[in-house]
Amino acid sequence: MPQQTPTQRVGVAIHADDALTHAGLTSHLRLDRRFSETPADQADVTVVAVDTADASTLSLLHTLSASAGTRFALLVGRQWQADIFAAVDRGVRAVLWRDSFTPAAFSQALMAVARGGGSFPPPLQGTLMRQVQWTHHEVLTPRGLTASGVSPREVEVLRLIAEGLELSEIAEQLAYSERTVKYVLYGLMKRLNLRNRAHAVSHALRTGLI
């Protein structure tokens, strides 16, 4: 979904089993002209209010993603018992605690998510960073991959292609055979479902690999 510009209203869907909570969140949206309450299938951000974030919450997000957008902001009442890495994978981009909820924090979190960012309480940020670090050291590094799932050798080949070099020139510069360069490039393209060299370079630029 495209990121919002300042002149666009952010469409927000509210999912809360408790009618009072739903009414309160809707009221906050109506007081801020940057937002409009929107059906789930048209929302830029879907707010999900739960008492405790746990495995059942992840299942709920999976269900909601079939009809809602894939960007969620969670309002959590009591405690966090879910895998934060799995929550992010389900589309969670912001978490707010009910006991420290303020309209300003709510609006700030919604705007951050709508713009493609995120907002997490420091303890959850720390947990997420530790999980990312563990995945990097224990899963990716032994396989020669970076956090993006692309190896340093693949990044170097993409960088040189972006600079306009032919495969034979890349092979000479990296001291590989041309066949090896082709193997590296086509293996990457197949793994990431990239159509051609231009698509591969575009992906690398868009994701910040080069």
pLDDT digit string, tens, across residues 91-140: 999 999 999 999 999 999 999 999 889 999 888 888 888 877 777 677 66
Percentage of the chain lying above the pLDDT 70 cut: 90
**Would you state the pLDDT for residue 136?**
65
For residue 5, name the pLDDT band (cuts at 50, 70, 90).
very low
Say what the pLDDT of residue 144 is: 65
pLDDT score of 58 more than 70: yes
- CATH architecture of structural domain 144-206: Orthogonal Bundle (1.10)
Instruction: Calculate ∠ Cα 24-122-130, nearest 5°.
Output: 130
pLDDT at residue 108, as a whole number: 94
Q: Specify the pLDDT at position 206.
A: 80
pLDDT greater at residue 129 or residue 61: 61
Task: Give me the mean pLDDT over the 139-148 stretch.
Answer: 65
Rounded to 10 degrees, the C-alpha dihedral 103/104/105/111 comes to 110
d(CA 65, CA 68): 5
- Report the b/e string of 1-18 with b at 16+ CB within 10 A: eeebeeeeebbbbbbbee
Q: What is the mean pLDDT of residues 159-169?
A: 92
Which CATH code of 3.20.20.80, 3.90.650.10, 3.40.50.2300, 3.40.1160.10 fits the domain covering 10-127?
A: 3.40.50.2300
Q: Can you give the three-state secondary structure of 107-176, one letter per residue?
A: HHHHHHHHCCCCECCHHHHHHHHHHHHHHHHHHHHHHCCCCCCCCHHHHHHHHHHHCCCCHHHHHHHHCC
Domain ranges within the chain, ordered by starting residue: 10-127, 144-206
Positive or negative torsion for Cα 75, 78, 82, 83: positive
pLDDT confidence of 70, banded at 50, 70, 90?
Answer: confident
* pLDDT score of 141: 66
User: pTM of the prediction?
Assistant: 0.66
Contact 86, 58 (CB under 8 A): yes
| Token pair recorded at residue 7 | 């002149």
Bigger pLDDT: 9 vs 5: 9
Residues 176-206: pLDDT tens digits?
999 999 999 998 888 888 899 899 888 888 8
CA 102, 103, 105, 110 torsion-angle sign: positive
Nearest to 28 by CA among 124, 93, 111: 111
Kindly calculate the radius of gyration of the chain based on its CA atoms and give it in whole angstroms: 21
For all residues of the chain together, what is the average pLDDT? 86
